Structure 1
Amino acid sequence: MPSNQPSLRVDVIYPANLKEGDAPPSPTDPNYNWHFLAEGDSWFTIGAVPSSNLLFELRLAKWTRVLNLAYPGDTILHISDLAANKDLKAFLAKRNFNYPFDALLLSGGGNDVIDAAKDLIDVSGYKPAKRDPEAYINRKKLEALLTSIQEGYAAIIGLRDASNSQSKGRPAFVHTYDYPTPRDAPARFVGTFKLLGPWLYKVFKGSAMDVQLQQLIVNRIMDALAESLLELDCEHGKPGKQLPALHVIDTRNTLVMANPGEVGNSNDWLNEIHPNLDGYRKIADRLSARINEVMLG
């Protein structure tokens, strides 16, 4: 962020907060300059203990209140779950209910890919001499999954631009994901007592495939996800795929990858699929810069 711009924390509230006390907070409190609506997966919640989340680390040029529909304790949510969220439909497009938001913040698609990894990756034909990661990826299933993710984002943008919406045409911001490392590092989420995952590690466990090739396969899949999201970008996306006023921020190669032999906090990763506090801050810096650029014109 340019030195002449302020760097201000955002105020994150949840739908439950709107019903608390005699004077509950409003999503469009005039004391804030910008009012955002956020919906997303566990990267937008107090997801993995004891880390932060991506929203908390945003630093914007104006005072901003964010109504976050991603509840603490959410674990593996898919893009279809996010697009179908009744709160999203209500706050964006319900007649005589929705609010005028200045922007949307969206996080989704990563969980779809992680959860489907067992169907996307086939290690049964592993041979040490076969080093092409594409040889172990089911492209047909991957392309079908990526299409469904794109359709989920199109559904959300359709809600934003519905006839009853007061947020028509307002910018929406989406991030890509960085490169997780297959490793025995499960996650514990707020509100749960058990460990969940690991996800990628289980796909490769017992296969005798070396860790370098495992990482190449995961990287190739995460690149495919990022490229499918970038196709939706309103300025630089693929003709016929672009979604209006949707800005996709490519955050690949932001984080230092985890050490595959470490089972806990490693470099910029708290567990197999979630960044730690430093990691979230690095990604939030890139998001904040683009959000400020678009919002300030």
Structure 2
Amino acid sequence: MDNVYWSWDASTADGGNPSILAIGDSWFWFPLPGGSLINQLGKLVNADHYILAVGNNGAEAFDYVEGKYRKDVRRQLGLHGPSLSAVFISGGGNDFAGFNDLRPMLNDDCSQATTPEQCFRPGNDARTLEWLMTKTADSHRALIGQIMASVPPAAKIVLHNYDYAQPTGKGPFGGNSGWLKPALDDAQVPTALQADCIRYLIDRMTTKLRVLTAIDPNRVFLVESAGTLTPQDWVNELHPKESGFKKIARQKWLPVLTAIGLT
């Protein structure tokens, strides 16, 4: 799409002045044919809006405020903040996606578990589910604060909660190198319970994101897209096909974008 840029240099070369900043991970940056969610959102917003993406594949929520994309986020907010109509945020999925992220949160042996809750280590010490969810929510809260300090009072902030990822073991280029199933298998989570464990994670994250909208209900919005896709809509464990991204954009994002005046 001509109104979507993944490079500030490219946007300035085209004379585009971003009115929407999209701070995100692979759901905004997915490089395979069909593109990402941002490709679909670019088709929905008014033609006079330019979207500039910040972040990259694999980005975690922490990266936007204290990690590798901190400087770029601050730079773009400094350059374009006063003229922004909205900021889209995609973060949190990579915080638990990956063997080294997910496996520590699971119990050593989940073979006898009958509910998702029984698979996760209790408490809120380091590397537990509660610790991760709090850390991710704190990163979102800090990012929202930076955005609000940089953009006009009328600018909107839109979060989203992905969808219920599929622990199939299918990686980015096929094969058996996924982000979720290896950790679930290592923890001996029963196959019939693995999808429910991921659903439990997404639902816990959604609860945290809902709380963030209370910062300012007139400015902070949450697109609740979990539950939109079928298993056939996914190209691998974490990413929808082009048709899946299109479904989420049109069914879940469009009503929100329309309500805040971007379509």
Q: Same fold (TM over 0.5)?
A: yes
Q: Number of residue pairs matched? A: 250
- Give the corresponding residue for 1:15: 8
- For residues 75-125 of structure 1, what are the alpha-carbon distances to aligned partners after superposition, in whole Å with 9 as ceiling and x for unaligned? 32110112342121122136xx75410011110011112132112222514
Shift of 1:283: 1.0
SS where residue 147 of structure 1 aligns? Answer: helix
Equivalent pair of 2:209/2:222 in contact (CA under 8 Å):
yes
Distance 1:201 1:42, change over 3 A: same
Equivalent pair of 2:109/2:188 in contact (CA under 8 Å):
no
**RMSD of equivalent CA atoms:** 2.6
- Provide the C-alpha distance between the structure 1 equivalents of 2:176 and 2:78, rounded to a whole number of angstroms: 34
Equivalent pair of 2:28/2:38 in contact (CA under 8 Å):
yes
Superposed, 1:1-297 pairs within 5 Å as 11-13=3-5, 14-20=7-13, 24-28=14-18, 35-45=19-29, 47-58=30-41, 59-60=43-44, 62-63=46-47, 64-70=49-55, 74-84=56-66, 85-93=70-78, 98-115=81-98, 116-122=101-107, 124-127=109-112, 130-139=113-122, 140=124, 141-162=128-149, 165-188=150-173, 197-205=177-185, 209-234=189-214, 245-257=219-231, 267-285=232-250, 286-295=252-261
Shift of 1:167: 3.2
- Provide the C-alpha distance between the structure 2 equivalents of 1:208 and 1:18, rounded to a whole number of angstroms: 48
SS where residue 96 of structure 2 aligns? Answer: helix
SS where residue 248 of structure 1 aligns? Answer: strand
SS where residue 251 of structure 1 aligns? Answer: coil
TM-score computed with the length of structure 2 as normaliser: 0.85
Equivalent pair of 1:177/1:226 in contact (CA under 8 Å):
no
SS where residue 205 of structure 1 aligns? Answer: helix
The structure richer in helix per residue is 2
Distance 1:195 1:151, change over 3 A: farther
Shift of 1:19: 5.0
Shift of 1:296: 6.4
- Provide the C-alpha distance between the structure 1 equivalents of 2:176 and 2:52, rounded to a whole number of angstroms: 27
Distance 1:168 1:88, change over 3 A: farther
SS where residue 67 of structure 1 aligns? Answer: strand
Equivalent pair of 2:110/2:189 in contact (CA under 8 Å):
no
Shift of 1:244: 6.6
Shift of 1:66: 0.6
Unaligned runs of 5+ in 1: 1-8, 29-34, 189-193, 235-240, 258-266
- Give the corresponding residue for 1:5: none
Equivalent pair of 1:160/1:167 in contact (CA under 8 Å):
no
Distance 1:199 1:293, change over 3 A: same
Equivalent pair of 2:45/2:257 in contact (CA under 8 Å):
no
Equivalent pair of 1:106/1:173 in contact (CA under 8 Å):
yes
- For residues 233-254 of structure 1, what are the alpha-carbon distances to aligned partners after superposition, in whole Å with 9 as ceiling and x for unaligned? 24xxxxxx66771101111110
